[in-house]
Structure 1
Amino acid sequence: MMKPLSETANEARAKASELAEKTAENARATAEAAKARIQDGYGRARAATSDLAARASEQADAAREVAGEAYAKGKAQAKRANSKLKDVAEKQPLALVAGAVAVGALLGSLLPKSLRRSDDDEA
C-alpha cells in the first residue's frame, strides 16, 4: 500500500531539515577549525616578530657598546699621540721641523708633474 502524499512530503521535509542541520553543523565545525588555525598562525607570527625585535634590540645594544669602546680607545690613543708630539716639540724642536720638511717633500714628490710649478713658468 502506498503512503499518503502528505506523509511522504513530511518525511522528505524532515530529511531535508536533518541534512540542512548536518551541513550547518559541518560548516560551523570547519569555520571553528579555520578560526583556530588562523589564531594559532597569528600567535606564532606575533611571537616570531617579538623574538626578532628582541634580538634586534640586543644587537643594537651590543653595537652601541662596541662603538663606545672603540671611541674610548681612539680618544685615549689620540691623547697619547698628542702628548708624545708635545714632548718631541719641547725636547727636540729641530727634529720636529726636519720631520715636517721631510713629510712635505714626500707629499710634493707624489703630486703629478702638471700640478707642480716649474722654474720655466715663473720666468
Structure 2
Amino acid sequence: MVDQDGHPILRLSISGMLVVQCQRCLEAMELPVGLQSGFRLVASERDLGPVEEEPEEWTAWVADPNLDVEALVEDELLLAVPFAPVHADPACDPKLASQDLEAADGGPFAVLALLKDRKSVEP
C-alpha cells in the first residue's frame, strides 16, 4: 500500500490478551489488547516533514532495511498498555491485600515474609 505521495505504508494490527498485575489489589489480571497503527515509510529524515502536517492515523518512519520489527511491535504494545492497569471495580478489592499486610505482627520483616510466601504460592 502507498499513500498519495507514493510512500509505502506499513500497517500494524495487534490483538490478544496480556496478563498483567492489577495495581490496586496486586493480583494477576487479563488485559485485552487491540490496536491498529500505521507508519508512512520515508527514505530519509529530510522527507519526514513537519509533524503537524502528518495525518493523524499515520506516523512517519524512516525506512531502514534493518528495521527491528519485533522492537517496533513491542514499543507499540507498551504504548497501548495503561500505566497502572486495574480490575473493574466489582472484581477488585484492595482492602483484602492491605488487611493481610496489616495483620502481620513482627515489624517490616514479617510483612516482607508474608509477601514472599504469598508470591511463592501464586501460579
TM bucket (normalised to shorter chain) is: under 0.3
Higher helix share: 1
Higher strand share: 2
Larger Rg over CA atoms = 1
Higher relative contact order (CA 8 A, sep 6+): 2
TM-score by length of 2: 0.23
TM-score by length of 1: 0.23
